[in-house]
Amino acid sequence: MTIKWDENIFLEGAKAYYDYTLKHSKKRVLGWIFIAILQFGIVMLLKQGTYGMVLLGSILTLYWYFLRWPIRRALLKMAFKKSPLANKEINIDINKNRLLIDNQELSFEKIKDFIKSDRGYLLIIDKGFIYIPFNKLSKKDEKFLKNLF
């Protein structure tokens, strides 16, 4: 199969990878900590009239829940434009022993995890990820990947 590694496919894969790494990280509790800081700040505002903690908690909570992914997406878009793979055709061959990506072999033992996201398969490897959108897979390759993992 051939995949044109465009910005949308890159961002889909990056989002799936980001969600996967956050889910398996201690960082996932930061949102709750920021909410606690906000609540503590509200109490301080009501009791002492100081608003510094409310301001800090508000900024951190707004960032964590509403701005984190848009900022990350903007940075990823800039990185994609500088990438040597940007808008390149990538050939992927899947068989029972390995993946062949642009004539470079990747054995299945090197794949740490296999995630089925909303729009594709995410293969976690040592140096990042390989993302294969569902709409680029043949029925044969999709069936093989489902049975393999």
pLDDT digits (tens, 9 = 90+) for 42-74: 999 999 988 899 999 999 999 999 999 999 999
How many angstroms separate the CA atoms of 59 and 75, rounded?
Answer: 20
With a pLDDT cut of 90, the percent of the chain lying above it is 40
What phi and psi values does residue 132 have, to the nearest 5 degrees? -125, 110
User: Cβ distance 5 to 88 under 8 Å?
Assistant: yes
pTM across the whole model: 0.78
- Compute CA distances 58 → 39, 51, 68, 120, 130, whole Å: 9, 10, 14, 35, 36
- Side-chain-side CA neighbours of 143 within 13 Å: the count stands at 3
What confidence category does residue 146 fall into, taking pLDDT thresholds of 50, 70 and 90?
A: confident
Tens digits of residue pLDDT in 117-134: 888 888 888 878 888 898
What phi and psi values does residue 50 have, to the nearest 5 degrees? -95, 140
Q: How many other C-beta atoms lie within 10 A of the C-beta of residue 114?
A: 14
Tens digits of residue pLDDT in 13-49: 999 999 888 888 888 889 899 999 999 999 999 999 8
Angle value at C-alpha 134, between 131 and 140, nearest 5 degrees: 105
